[in-house]
Every structure is written in structure tokens, then in C-alpha cells.
Amino acid sequence: MNKSKSLVQLIEVPKIFDDCSLIFAQAKKHIPFEIRRVFWIADADTGLPRGFHAHKTNRQILFCLRGSIQIIVDNGKIREEVVLDKPNVGIFFNNMIWHEMLKFQKNTVLLVLNSHPYDPKDYIRKYQQFLKLVNK
Ligand code: TYD
């Protein structure tokens, strides 16, 4: 379910309460792409910001399964920020959206669903190059 029309696109997936929190997401139903790759991040240095790139093609949904982080999203014209701290609320990064992850709380665990396999050539790591590509 898309909860917002701003640059920050949050996706809430079902969370079932029983004797634990059971959270699930299904491609096409909750996730707007076929999931071709998953990676996760744990034991991140709390003082070290991450991300600082955009993808030419790959689309992603990032869930903060534990802890919290601040996320910046930027389309070259607008920059918005949001705190991600609920395991069933992810943020959608469309392709060509610059994103930064800051303020990792200790023990934060992130799960990232991806529309494409890993390809280092898909990364735009220089902000000035990103601006040129989105504003042309
Ligand atoms: P990278 O995406 O550059 O991480 P960061 O921007 O946070 O430093 O990935 C770091 C290394 O992990 C790089 O050598 C490639 C490898 N990697 C994969 O092989 N597959 C993946 O899905 C990811 C995310 C990284």
C-alpha cells in the first residue's frame, strides 16, 4: 500500500500479530516489481552514512527490520527526508532517485529488495553526474 504521494514513497506490508510479529511481502501484490535480488545490512557503523548513489535501472524497497535510520531521497529538484523505524513499513527507491542513509541506530538491520541483479555499472555515485542526467 503506497501511503504517500510525495518523493518519500512508503510501502506498508501486512503485519500479523500472534505470538510474534509476522511480516510478509509478495512481488506484484505488495512490491511493485519482481524481486530478483535481496541483500541485507547489519553491524553498520552508527557514525558512517551510507548510500549516496542512484541506480540507472534498479528499483529497491528498503525495510528497517530493527533499529532506525534517517533516509534522504532526492530527485535532482526536491530533497526529502524520513525516519524509517517500523519493520513493516519500507521505502521505495525508484530508479534515478538519489538516496542517502544516515543516523544508523545501534543494531539496525536493513533488508533491501531489488528489481535487478547486481551490476556495478548501474550505480551513479557522483551527485553532479546524477544532476546532469536527471535534469537533461
Ligand atoms: P556496494 O553496493 O558498493 O556497497 P556500499 O555502496 O554500501 O559500499 O557493495 C559493496 C560490495 O558488495 C561490492 O564489492 C559488490 C558487493 N555486492 C554484491 O556482490 N552484490 C550485491 O547485491 C551488493 C549490494 C553488493
Ligand 1 atom closest to Cα of 123? 2
pLDDT for residue 1: 47
d(CA 100, CA 109): 16
Check if 118 has its Cβ closer than 6 Å to any atom of ligand 1.
yes
Q: Whose CA is nearest to atom 11 of ligand 1?
A: 120
Which tens digits make up the pLDDT trace of 93-121?
999 999 999 999 999 999 999 999 999 99
Share of the chain above pLDDT 90, in %: 91
8 A C-beta contact, residue 90 and residue 63: yes
d(CA 91, CA 30): 12
8 A C-beta contact, residue 98 and residue 76: yes
C-alpha cell at 114: 531489488
**Does the annotation mark 99 as catalytic?**
no
d(CA 128, CA 40): 28
Check if 50 has its Cβ closer than 6 Å to any atom of ligand 1.
yes
Ligand 1 atom closest to Cα of 37? 22
Helix (H) or strand (E) holding 130: helix 127-135
Which tens digits make up the pLDDT trace of 12-36?
999 998 889 999 999 999 999 999 9
pLDDT for residue 18: 82
Q: Whose CA is nearest to atom 25 of ligand 1?
A: 118
d(CA 72, CA 8): 9
Q: Which residue among the candidates 30, 53, 55, 116 is catalytic per the annotation?
A: 53
The dihedrals phi and psi of 122, each to the nearest 5 degrees, come to -80, -10
pTM here is 0.93
Strand partners, 9: 92
Helices first, then strands: H and E counts in the chain: 1, 12
